[in-house]
Structure 1
Amino acid sequence: MTTINIQQMMADSGVAFGTSGARGLVSQMSGEVCAAYTLAFLQGLGSACSGQRIALGIDLRPSSPAIARACAAAIREAGCVVDYCGVLPTPALALHSLALGIPAIMVTGSHIPFDRNGIKFYTAQGEISKADEAAIAGATVEVGELAGDLPAVNPVALDQFRLRYTELFSADLLKGWRVGVYEHSSAARDVLKQILSDLGAEVLGLERTDTFVPIDTEAVGEEDRQRGRTWAAQHKLDAIISTDGDGDRPLIGDETGDWLRGDVVGLLCSHFLGADTVVTPVSCNTAIEASGWFKQVIRTRIGSPYVIAGMEQASGGVAGFEANGGFLAGNNLVVNGHPLAALPTRDSILPALALLAMARQQGCKMSELLNGLPQRFTASDRLQNFAVADSRALLERLQASEDAYRSLWGDALGAVVKRDTTDGLRLTFANGEIAHLRPSGNAPELRCYAEADSVERAQVLVNETLAKIAQG
């Protein structure tokens, strides 16, 4: 047995909690580190955990099976039973956990680069909170021999996830539509294709690969933008659907192959589901308030734990979503007159189906769903390999001096009329444009969000801001 203090292990290994789970370089995520995190999580569940089933799932990263084996060994060491669900989307594992009232562990790095991975934890009530993360970080555990392999896959979780949506929507919802699925290395690729096919679509699989592709739905690269346009024209598609690596963030393309922004997807999905209250991070489009569709809009820090905390305080029909498009279904939402069971964790399938259903019901093209929305447009991107310490130093300089603002943006945007430090630094300028900078919580990256009256202008503002920062 080896005694491990989690706080010290985090400092030594570099594997620490970010905006969503514990993450780090694969080279740092040893079996001992992964087992220690698992034991600390189970220890926090108390004596009731002993003998209980613990659901365990993975994404398609090549490092995920080895990490899962270490987690499984720790589950058995804690006197629990491994309910191994194999490769599946994170929301499918979360739904399985909630349905059975059992804890769950998902091995995934989501969208972060290939050389990294992570572990995400769920209690029987849903995603762990920031307080739960603090308790794990403060634990001390005993790690023994990490023996044994993964058990056979239990298919129930994936089957239940598929039925959640095929039973909500009519079997002919997408009859006559050609829908492309950008498969890449998404853990959701097979179940997504099956759901769309079950709902009547002609489904075309696109760009399936066994090599992991780190799709970031908040920062879609030019290569993927061009891919979407080429596929739409070549195959005469009505829509293109994809997700990030673990299937909890959607990437939705219209009939021209243009990818829709995640916050606009969330806005439309919330309206489709009849939400009264929307909970969303400060980085999302102000069209949410300007639409007038919701009785209340609650703004939070970036990260699903903060959105979930806001949802728990809300009433009526409650929806949550992030700028990456991940949608969290709260209480009292409805699809076609049928109640939708709450799933307060990021999901990519629901928003995709909601937008497809809206277009079919309105008899319009996917691109036309945006008609009538307030003319506010967002863009985002990031500087990779930008140390978190450098990001924080930059934000401190920008907050300390007006001259620092001018050195980055000049006088073209006018004076700063509002400063929001809810998460990073979000500045509203006199000309109505918004620039928002924050360190990523998952990787050494500096993220930039911008909002303007046209998508082109928002993208220019992002590009110019990041270019100036990169130049020093």
Structure 2
Amino acid sequence: MKFGTSGLRGRSADLTGRASALYATAFGKYLLQSNKAATGDIILIGRDFRDSSPEIAGNCAGALASLGFQVADCGTVPTPAVALYGLERNAACLMITGSHIPADRNGIKFYRPDGEIDKADEVAITRFAAEIDASDETVVSTPVATKDHSAPCLQLFFERNTALLPGAAFAGMKIGVYQHSTVARDLMVDVLAHYGAEVVALGRSETFIPVDTEAISEETLALLKGWTTSHGLDATVSTDGDGDRPLVADETGTPLRGDLLGLITANFLGASTVVTPVTSNSGIEADSPFSVIRTRVGSPFVIAGMKEAVACGKAHVIGFEANGGLLTATPFDINGRSVRALPTRDCFLPMLATLSLAAIRKETLSAIAASYKLPFAAANRIENFPVEKSAALMAFLRASEANLSNFLHPIGDVASKSDIDGLRVTLRDGRVIHFRPSGNAPEMRCYVEAEDEIAALELLSAGLTRIKRWAEAR
């Protein structure tokens, strides 16, 4: 078990039982000893549709109840819904989810009563877990009876999202919803229908399907294009398993980049400061009406950047990631009302802001995307790439200028590099290639930018090929 870019992750078989109870116990003790919660306080637990999630949720509930907390079950709801409900109730939360990673893995996301935990919290929780594990202390993992809070949790999130735009904002639009196994699948339909869209529900699955909105599979792309043609859709929307990363595809079935969704939402909100990881498109800074702060990859780093901006007196502060997850650090006035800050990844706000822009301009989403004139960006990953091998590759590339130059020689010459998170290299011809091990799965990721789609995809293929050949030679 270890913390990655967002939450604790591990194999489902390893996380069920004592392991999940151990980390829930550590989280509960950390809350108590840091005075962030008291005995008798309520703690909320939500979960995704993975087969292992109910058992893990039960293990965590038993552990927290043994410490004297009241445990409320929010059911299968989106992560941002649990987080918002926690802020409303001033309650700590756990979300049992592995997000976009395969079904044989799972995870736990933790929230203090004031929002998502940060890296310092992760260190403290890990320390508590190690101390408990090394002692003779009993860890309770037996499920207990919990109060059902799913209805008020979902209702609060529904009310937030149905107050962002005018009532008939999507009238005349035909929008597909790829439901698969995301916990946001019914809520997406309800919210879009509220705004007057003709909604077509598609691809609902009772088997968990891992959908990564940052590295969309060929199978998912084929589905999107097929549905767009057969149903005559203006757009198709979806999200990852726990509903905190959006997927928005245009009228051709082509997905829009997550960082473009973030940029559109920044303009929609009138943001003055945007915090985003180094993996987001380099064109975001060009002619932007807001200041941009770059961070490492992962919501804790984005949240830390937002907190720093607010502490410096900045107003209208948001963050977003290349996967499209949108975070707000300050309240915003939207559609004539003040909308509270939600400093955790949310898929609904960027989805609605982007569709709203298309409706207002009466333009296709492809035309909206083209109007931003961003460098073409692409990303993909090599799955089942051992963590040790990823670490060895990064150590090799960082060891010397000669190593990096030789590794990239078949692709291009190095002009400059950034080592904020992974290794991001700008080539002499202006193309960008970025190598980065996943923070929460045995995967090696590659991100690229180029002047057009063909050049970007060629660069991406070349980068992945170099990684594979290096690994095969070792």
TM-score relative to the length of structure 2: 0.93
Residue 42 (str. 1) matches residue 28 (str. 2): yes
Residue 204 (str. 1) matches residue 200 (str. 2): yes
The CA deviation string for residues 244-273 of structure 1, in whole angstroms up to 9 with x for no partner, is 000000010011110011111111111111
CA distance in 2, matches of 1:161, 1:291: 34
CA contact (8 A) 1:84 1:150 kept: no
CA distance in 2, matches of 1:442, 1:121: 15
- Deviation, 1:149, is 4.1
CA distance in 2, matches of 1:71, 1:456: 48
Q: What residue in structure 2 maps to residue 317 of structure 1?
A: 316
- Deviation, 1:371, is 3.0
Q: Map 1:188-337; keep pairs closer than 5 Å.
A: 188-294=184-290, 296-314=291-309, 315-337=314-336
Q: What residue in structure 2 maps to residue 97 of structure 1?
A: 86
Cα–Cα, structure 1 residues 428 and 211, in superposed 2: closer, same or farther, change >3 Å? same
CA distance in 2, matches of 1:248, 1:24: 19
- Deviation, 1:157, is 0.5
Could you tell me which amino acid in structure 1 is paired with residue 299 of structure 2?
S
The CA deviation string for residues 21-52 of structure 1, in whole angstroms up to 9 with x for no partner, is 11100111131111110111111112642000
- Deviation, 1:458, is 1.5
CA distance in 1, matches of 2:216, 2:227: 16
The CA deviation string for residues 74-99 of structure 1, in whole angstroms up to 9 with x for no partner, is 11101011111100000000000011
Cα–Cα, structure 1 residues 212 and 291, in superposed 2: closer, same or farther, change >3 Å? farther
Q: What residue in structure 2 maps to residue 26 of structure 1?
A: 12
CA distance in 2, matches of 1:360, 1:145: 53
CA distance in 2, matches of 1:76, 1:225: 44
- Deviation, 1:143, is 3.2
CA distance in 1, matches of 2:351, 2:78: 14
Q: Map 1:284-433; keep pairs closer than 5 Å.
A: 284-294=280-290, 296-314=291-309, 315-410=314-409, 412-414=411-413, 416-433=414-431
Q: What residue in structure 2 maps to residue 11 of structure 1?
A: none
Q: What residue in structure 1 maps to residue 99 of structure 2?
A: 110
- Deviation, 1:297, is 0.3
CA distance in 2, matches of 1:150, 1:194: 30
| Count of paired positions | 456
Instruction: Name structure 1 gaps, 5 residues minimum.
Output: 1-14
- Deviation, 1:392, is 1.7
Aligned Cα RMSD in Å? 1.4
CA contact (8 A) 2:22 2:139 kept: no
- Deviation, 1:152, is 5.0
Instruction: Name structure 2 gaps, 5 residues minimum.
Output: none
CA contact (8 A) 2:280 2:321 kept: yes
The CA deviation string for residues 332-357 of structure 1, in whole angstroms up to 9 with x for no partner, is 43323432211010000110000011
Could you tell me which amino acid in structure 1 is paired with residue 168 of structure 2?
D
Q: What residue in structure 2 maps to residue 4 of structure 1?
A: none
CA contact (8 A) 1:408 1:465 kept: no
- Deviation, 1:150, is 4.9
CA contact (8 A) 1:214 1:244 kept: yes
The CA deviation string for residues 276-312 of structure 1, in whole angstroms up to 9 with x for no partner, is 1100000110111013231x10000000000000001
CA contact (8 A) 1:327 1:351 kept: yes
Residue number among 413, 436, 452 corresponding to 2:434 in the alignment: 436
TM-score relative to the length of structure 1: 0.94
